[in-house]
């Protein structure tokens, strides 16, 4: 009798378990390549999206999704309950831009996995990414340096503000440059100062709602002649000091949450 009671108690203690939410399920999805899943240790998708307040039922716009690392998480998570919109290059801007949009559409055409992905237009001179005031969340991952080097970073943040509903969230992840470094380093290193990114957002009309160290990497010295691209995943120097840079891992990143005032 005592033995039976003890076994039952052990089962009762071990029993509590919680069903994975749509984002956790998507992160574990079989459609994600092993190489992409291996980057979770650096990009922390579950923690990052939780910090940004991303959840089913929202309209989530990801600006410049690139190869779609976050698309493969966000689109399945929003399928059937919410909307994922990819803010892609303006197909009218160039032949290469048009080709990249078509490639993206082809890659994520499987509605059984990704649902109906919305396509927005983003780029210099674009009037709106999506219908103004319709997005609950706008996200951008490791892109601000590109717009800064192109000379239209403020324009980009203004577009984010227009896209969001009042009370909506802007989530920014970007390579982080130390504040005591020359501003000129932001034009060539791929790293950006937190103070500068905050100023862009605030000038557009946003209010800072929080910051997180979830994507920090204290091993990143940020002093490479070839910039942030020296580190994984680019590893621009090839086999030169490869083990050293792999041991450092991906870049140290700021993770900032802004809100559009109601």
pLDDT for 19: 53
User: In which domain, by residue range, is 131 found?
Assistant: 34-259
Distance CA 142, CA 250 (A): 12
Residue 22 lies in a domain: no
Residue 16 lies in a domain: no
Q: What percent of the chain has pLDDT over 90?
A: 92
Residue 63 lies in a domain: yes
Residue 76 lies in a domain: yes
pLDDT above 60 (res 130): yes
Residue 237 lies in a domain: yes
pLDDT single digits (tens) 52-76:
999 999 999 999 999 999 999 999 9
The count of structural domains within the chain is 1
SS3 63: strand
Query: Which CATH number goes with the domain that contains 226?
Result: 3.40.50.150
Asked if residues 24 and 76 have their Cβ atoms less than 8 Å apart, the reply is no
Q: Is the pTM of this model over 0.75?
A: yes
Residue 13 lies in a domain: no
pLDDT above 60 (res 16): no
Number of Cβ atoms within 10 Å of the Cβ of 249: 15
Reference 256, options 217, 218, 207, 191; nearest CA is: 207
Asked if residues 163 and 61 have their Cβ atoms less than 8 Å apart, the reply is yes
pLDDT single digits (tens) 151-190:
999 999 999 999 999 999 999 999 999 999 999 999 999 9
Q: What percent of the chain has pLDDT over 70?
A: 92
Distance CA 228, CA 259 (A): 28
Residue 6 lies in a domain: no
DSSP 65-87: -TTTTTHHHHHHHHTTSSEEEEE
Residue 154 lies in a domain: yes
pLDDT above 50 (res 1): no
């Amino acid at each position: 009798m005592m033995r039976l009671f003890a076994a039952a108690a052990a089962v009762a203690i071990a029993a509590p378990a919680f069903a994975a939410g749509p984002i956790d399920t998507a992160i574990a999805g079989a459609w994600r390549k092993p190489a992409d899943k291996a980057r979770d240790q650096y990009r922390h998708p579950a923690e990052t999206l939780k910090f940004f307040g991303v959840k089913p039922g929202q309209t989530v716009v990801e600006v410049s999704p690139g190869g779609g690392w976050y698309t493969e998480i966000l689109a399945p998570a929003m399928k059937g309950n919410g909307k994922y919109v990819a803010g892609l290059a303006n197909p009218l801007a160039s032949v290469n831009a048009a080709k990249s949009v078509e490639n993206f559409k082809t890659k994520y055409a499987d509605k059984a996995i990704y649902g109906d992905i919305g396509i927005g237009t983003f780029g210099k001179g674009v009037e709106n990414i999506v219908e103004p005031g319709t997005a609950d969340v706008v996200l951008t991952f490791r892109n601000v340096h590109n717009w800064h080097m192109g000379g239209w970073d403020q324009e980009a943040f203004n577009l984010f503000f227009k896209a969001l509903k009042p009370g909506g969230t802007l989530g920014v992840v970007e390579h982080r440059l130390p504040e005591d470094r020359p501003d000129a380093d932001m034009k060539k290193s791929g790293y950006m100062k937190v103070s500068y990114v905050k100023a862009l957002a605030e000038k557009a009309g946003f209010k800072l709602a929080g910051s997180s160290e979830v994507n920090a990497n204290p091993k990143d010295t940020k002093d490479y002649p070839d910039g942030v691209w020296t580190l994984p995943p680019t590893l621009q120097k090839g086999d030169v000091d490869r083990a050293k840079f792999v041991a450092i891992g991906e870049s140290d990143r700021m993770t900032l949450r802004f809100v559009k005032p109601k």
